[in-house]
Amino acid sequence: MENAKMFLVKYAEIGTKGKNRYVFEETLCKRIRNKIKSLGEFDVRRDFGRIYVEALSDFDYDTCVEYITKVFGVNGICPVTMSESTDYAEISKAALQHITNAYDEFDFSFKVHCRRTNKSYPMTSVEVEAEVGHDLLMALEDKGLHVNVHNPDVMLEIEIRDKVYVYSKVLPGPGGLPVGTNGKAVSLLSGGIDSPVATYMIAKRGVEMQAVYFNSPPYTSARALEKVEKLGTIVSEYAGPIALHIVNFTELQLAIYDNCPHDELTIIMKRYMFRMAKDIALREGAQCIVTGESIGQVSSQTMQSLGVIDEAVDIPVYRPVIGMDKQEIVEYSQRIGTYETSIEPYEDCCTIFVAKHPVTKPKLDVIKRHEKKLEGIIEPIYQKALDTVEIKVLKIN
Ligand code: ATP
Ligand code: MG
């Protein structure tokens, strides 16, 4: 079987439509170009509501398919057989070549579907369909090929434009919108199952992601940080490069531990995480914070806790897995490929900072009163943590 040198990119949803169609398509082309540029020389172009990827050099077919089918905005890609000439004989030849290249056996039913953008073409679509169908049967009927117009195994698409494009298979992509069409977010990325899924979900809507990890050495290990980097890198296969901001959180946690009631540690710590994430977001020109919280999963994710945590910042906080069951989040993470890494046993939060009986219904005024005890102590610690953030760009290629 010979591999195609060209792909048609299918996209279903175009963000906010209208004039933005152009922006959407251009951004999608750019994302695809960036993604595959290390694999060879390619021409990625727009042509009247279609995007084509054409290889101009040798390339690794399987890796190329894997890369393009992970770009948000791509609904699917079709390996294409192209003919420069629109002469009928060349169309017929391309159709036969496509079938013989794309399939190993020919014992299946098919139907030809033709579209012409060039309406001055001397044959109608129906005539092309009938002729090509006939030619294919002549060539491959003895190998089992047969026609089924109602429910064919293979729909052979022929598009007659200035060139002719023949395709029949759709290799599915992730859908969504191309990253860069919907603003910027800062995602709180921990080593668990939920936050990588949350990061993926928001990126899938076209949002450029950065991530923040709160590191607590020596209470958390270097392996925990490596795990977060690995998770961010897996998400970056879809979302594009992700700048990971690594915050040294230990001193801040110790200050909270020394000055606040222990049953409120998690809540107060989360409020500081949010404040820090907001400051990083503002610094990076991002408009919101993303977390992997889901209602009721743990004590800091009760409705009351989420409300109290939210109050610490005045920018939007998005929690895309808020209404999902744990099992649903697990299945999602398996699908996108983060699960196996998430369940590696490096804890992201040191046990000394977690109370035996954390509050489940924190009261904002009480929390604020207890936070007051940090006044005069926490500010320089907070500023130092913010000033010493280490940035690492996570990407696969
Ligand atoms: P996850 O599975 O994403 O780790 P979780 O179920 O462990 O979440 P929590 O530990 O309560 O839940 O964390 C809730 C959210 O807070 C996480 O999804 C993440 O967005 C953020 N978060 C928690 N710990 C950290 C950390 N050390 N660094 C960055 N973000 C964190
Ligand atoms: Mg966690």
Residue 94 has what DSSP assignment?
A: H
* pTM > 0.95: yes or no: no
**Three-state secondary structure call for residue 230:** helix
Residue 1's pLDDT is: 57
- What is the rounded distance in angstroms from the CA atom of residue 154 to the CA atom of residue 236? 34
Residue 176 burial (C-beta neighbours within 10 Å; 0-12, 13-18, 19+): buried
**Three-state secondary structure call for residue 321:** coil
Distance 2 CA to ligand 1 centre (A): 47
CB atoms within 10 A of CB 169: 16
Identify the residue whose C-alpha is closest to ligand 1 atom 5. 192
Residue 105's pLDDT is: 95
User: Does 218 sit behind a cis peptide bond, omega within 30 degrees of 0 on the bond before it?
Assistant: yes
Sign of the torsion angle spanned by Cα atoms 77, 231, 289, 397: negative
Cα Dmax for the chain: 87
Tokens of 338: 């983060």
Query: What angle is formed at CA 95 by the lines to CA 92 and CA 98, rounded to 5 degrees?
Result: 150
- What is the rounded distance in angstroms from the CA atom of residue 276 to the CA atom of residue 239? 23
Question: Which ligand has an atom closest to residue 343 CA?
Answer: 1
- What is the rounded distance in angstroms from the CA atom of residue 215 to the CA atom of residue 252? 11
Closest ligand 1 atom, CA of 215? 27
* Angle between helix 364-372 and 303-310 (nearest 10): 50
Whole-angstrom CA distances from 220 to 202, 224, 355 are 27, 7, 17
CB atoms within 10 A of CB 123: 15
Residue 110, strand partner residues: 147, 154
Residue 348's pLDDT is: 60
69 close to 173: Cβ distance less than 8 angstroms? yes
Residue 347's pLDDT is: 66
Distance 195 CA to ligand 2 centre (A): 8
Distance 85 CA to ligand 1 centre (A): 57
Tokens of 393: 């760009």
Residue 296's pLDDT is: 84
Residue 349's pLDDT is: 58
Residue 317, strand partner residues: 289
Using a 6 Å CB cutoff, which residues line ligand 1?
188-190, 192-195, 212-214, 291-293, 297-298, 300-301, 348-349
Identify the residue whose C-alpha is closest to ligand 1 atom 2. 192
Closest ligand 1 atom, CA of 270? 16
Sign of the torsion angle spanned by Cα atoms 58, 61, 66, 72: positive
Instruction: Split the chain (397 residues) into runs of 10 and give each run's mean pLDDT.
Output: 87 71 91 96 90 96 96 96 96 97 96 91 95 97 96 97 95 95 96 96 97 94 94 97 97 96 94 98 97 88 94 98 97 98 78 80 96 96 98 91
Distance 274 CA to ligand 2 centre (A): 15
Query: Residue 136's closest CA among 164, 174, 190, 99?
Result: 99
Q: Cβ contacts of residue 208 below 8 Å, gap of 6+?
A: 179, 180, 183, 184, 185, 239, 240
Distance 191 CA to ligand 1 centre (A): 7
Residue 325's pLDDT is: 96
- What is the rounded distance in angstroms from the CA atom of residue 29 to the CA atom of residue 251? 45
Residue 123's pLDDT is: 95
Identify the residue whose C-alpha is closest to ligand 1 atom 23. 190
Residue 351's pLDDT is: 64
Residue 393, strand partner residues: 243
